[in-house]
Amino acid sequence: MTTAEKVAALTGTEVQELETEFVVAPEHHFALAELLQSEGYTFYITVAATHFAGEVPNKKNPEGSPETFQVATVLRKPEPGASSFACWRVELAAGEPIDSLVPLFEGADWQGREQFDLVGVVFKNHPDLRRLMMPEDWEGHPLRRDYAIETAHPPWR
Amino acid sequence: MSLSIQPYSAEQPVNPYLDVDLYDPDADLMVLNLGPQHPSTHGVFRVKLILDGEVIVKAIGYPGYLHRGVEKLCEKLNYSNIKAIIDKNDYISPMINEQAVNMAFEKLAGVEVPRRALWLRSLLAEFQRIASHLIALGTFGLDVGGALGGGASAFMYCFRDREMILDVFEELSGCRFHYNTHCVGGNRHDVPAGWDRMVLPALEVIEARLDELVDMMVNNQVFVDRTQGVGVIPKNLALGLGLTGPNGRASGIDCDLRRDAPYNAYGEVEVRPAVRSAGDCQARFLCRVDEIRESARLARLFLAGLPEGPISGTKPNKGPTSVKIKEGRCYVGLSTPRGELGTYLIAGGNKGLSPYRLKIRPPSLHHLASIPYILPGNNLSDAIAILGSLDPVMGEADR
């Protein structure tokens, strides 16, 4: 059984190639990372959260659409000669938390904090979820789509 | 009550979330802020150290003093404008930073890059790697002690040698630092006539002087005492933290994207990354020394084999809106002097003219994330050596 088949069996989605981003349900996120770690994907690479602003009902989209988040995780297999990576994403509704990978990978600590700080995705079971880049008393999450670059702030010290 | 904290080892890992009582009169702990403006932090990085006498009990890192919101800016800029600000991320190796985002754009746009441009990019990357490692070695000498033979003097020698590479780049692109020479589909500047007469002697001089530098530092007993066995990062911790580049290879992770996932022209030559198993400050230093030698060898190969042909696959940019990517998403990683610089790109913002989301994976931030694990149990003076040996660049860690 190849790794891609095992991943497909676990998540119930069709996975052709691990390097092409595939979608995973939030409840399978942690188990998938555990499976991939045992399959040799032991190198923690990155996590990237993205905010998709919802739409208010308009002419083109009479129903409107809710605001959503996507969190992509990348793990690498450090094999001499032929290294490959696995990239998957989890789609979340607004306010829905995602499992933190800190119990498996120490690097998920700061990376998770950065995404929490800039995008506002909440990581469950994170031991120390604080802002990383912005000042502690900053309001809002700057990498959200509805956060305008021109947003005025009192001068920071 | 006295706290006995041992340095990180596989058998006895350090708990970075240790709960310490700062007001316990028996423990008598002290809080010391190292940085943000401290020369050993190589930029503005603050570490809050909790000390028991001279031994570190707990270390808390505070990055973010140089946060400029690059990822947010990228969502507003056109594709051809982005590389100019990505240059400033890792300001020690801007040449490779440009390549990283360009590779992601080319992958999604489906642009073919001519072979000459690929070889030229690899050649420039190897030069930049030498220049970047020279800074790492020189500043590490400064961190370990200017009073040692080979402290401040090594720093000056390294900067003198790096100057030659900056001259080479200036001859090519007109800029000494932020080159802006890569564009989507190729390069902007072709090699000027007689460039090799400038490049080859520079490589020879650097290689010859590198031996002197190693003599000065690695063969110095004071340097050995301060680096050997200090700040050991076991392989498992390095994997979990995502330590790439020389820092990871010094801990025994045999992974180099130039060899294992070849991009540019690296698939056509043999790359021999330097791997060590000790994982201490000295191993990280020696990995960088070996990488300079390897880069000089590769640079000669790339220069000798530079193929003829066009330098860019696309027509010259008529305006900033000439690159359009409607949709798609990808992750692309390449090997910078510090480690794997990844670009996670979701295209399709601003009607295809800008990225919807551009996430940069900075190797330095992962390296800094290791300090809560490896500083406790060490002396305060060793903290400086460990921070220096990680060679972080705050410009890319904070972005």
For residue B72, give the nearest of B80, B82, B64 by alpha carbon.
B82
CA B362 to chain CA mean position, Å? 8
* DSSP secondary structure letter of residue B7: P
Closest residue of B to A20, CA-based?
B330
Q: Identify whether B5 is part of a domain.
A: no
- Evaluate whether B342 touches B361 at the Cβ level (below 8 Å): yes
Torsion of the alpha carbons at B73, B78, B84 and B85, rounded to the nearest 10: 10
Tell the residue number behind the tokens 């960088």, with chain if given.
B288
| Residue of chain B whose Cα is closest to the Cα of A83 | B260
**The complex's ipTM?**
0.86
Residue B61 CB partners (closer than 8 Å, separation 6+): A110, B45, B46, B47, B48, B368, B369, B371, B372
State how far the Cα of B158 lies from the Cα of B136, in Å rounded to an integer: 9
Name which of B313, B170, B148, B342 is nearest B245 in CA terms: B342
Q: Distance from B212 to chain A by nearest Cα, in Å?
A: 32
How many whole angstroms separate alpha carbon B9 and alpha carbon A152? 47
Q: How far apart are CA A33 and CA A13, in angstroms?
A: 15
- Split into its structural domains, chain B has a count of 1
CA distance A32 to B139: 42
* DSSP 8-state symbol, B268: G
Q: Ramachandran region of residue A14, left (φ > 0), alpha (ψ -120 to 50) or beta? A: beta
- CATH number of the domain that B193 lies in? 1.10.645.10
Chain A residues lying within 8 Å of B342, measured CB to CB: 45-46, 74
CA distance B153 to B163: 16
**According to DSSP H, which parts of chain B are helical?**
70-74, 79-86, 94-109, 115-144, 152-173, 196-217, 221-227, 235-241, 245-250, 257-260, 281-304, 363-368, 371-374, 380-390, 394-398
Per DSSP, B379 falls in state B
Classify residue B37 as exposed, middle or buried by CB count within 10 Å of its CB (0-12, 13-18, 19+). exposed
Residue B284 maps to a domain: yes
**What is chain A's alpha carbon radius of gyration, rounded to the nearest angstrom?**
18
Chain A contacts to B (CB-CB under 8 A): 19, 21, 42-46, 48, 50, 72, 74, 76, 78-85, 87, 104-107, 109-111, 114, 118, 127-128, 131-135, 142-143, 147, 149
Sketch the domain layout of chain A as residue ranges. 3-58+65-124
Distance from CA of B394 to the nearest CA of A (A): 12
> Is B306 among the domain residues?
yes
Architecture of the A3-58+65-124 domain: 2-Layer Sandwich (3.30)
From the list A42, A80, A133, which residue is nearest B239 (CB)? A42
* Structural domain range at position B179: 70-398
**CB contact (8 A) between residue B64 and residue A118:** no
B7 domain-assigned: no
- Residue B127's nearest CA partner among B214, B201, B199, B210 is B199
Instruction: Please provide the average confidence, as pLDDT, over all residues in chain B.
Output: 85
Return the H-helix or E-strand segment holding A68.
Answer: strand A68-77
Indicate the DSSP class of residue B285. H
Pull the structure tokens for residue A73: 């995780």
User: pLDDT digit of tens for each residue in chain A (157 aa)?
Assistant: 787 777 777 777 777 777 788 888 888 888 888 888 888 888 899 999 999 887 788 888 778 788 889 999 999 888 887 888 888 889 888 888 898 989 889 889 999 999 999 998 999 888 888 888 888 888 888 888 888 877 777 665 4
DSSP 8-state assignment for residue B145? -
Residue with tokens 């900053």: A138
- State the amino acid at position B150 in one-letter form: G
How much is the pLDDT for B323?
78
Regions of chain B with pLDDT less than 70: 1-3, 40-41, 146-151, 314-321
d(CA B105, CA B351): 15
- CA-CA distance, B225 to B218, in Å (whole number)? 10
What is d(CA B297, CA B127) in angstroms, rounded to the nearest whole number? Answer: 11
pLDDT at A71: 92
Please report whether residue B44 resides in a domain: no
Q: B192-250: per-residue pLDDT in tens? A: 888 888 889 999 999 888 888 888 888 888 888 888 888 889 988 999 898 998 999 99
As a whole number of angstroms, the distance between CA B58 and CA A50 comes to 33
Tell me the Cα Rg of chain B: 22
Q: Is residue B214 part of a domain?
A: yes
- Please give, rounded to a whole number of angstroms, the shortest distance from the CA of A119 to a CA of chain B: 11
Separation of alpha carbons B33 and B358, rounded Å: 33
B48 inside domain: no
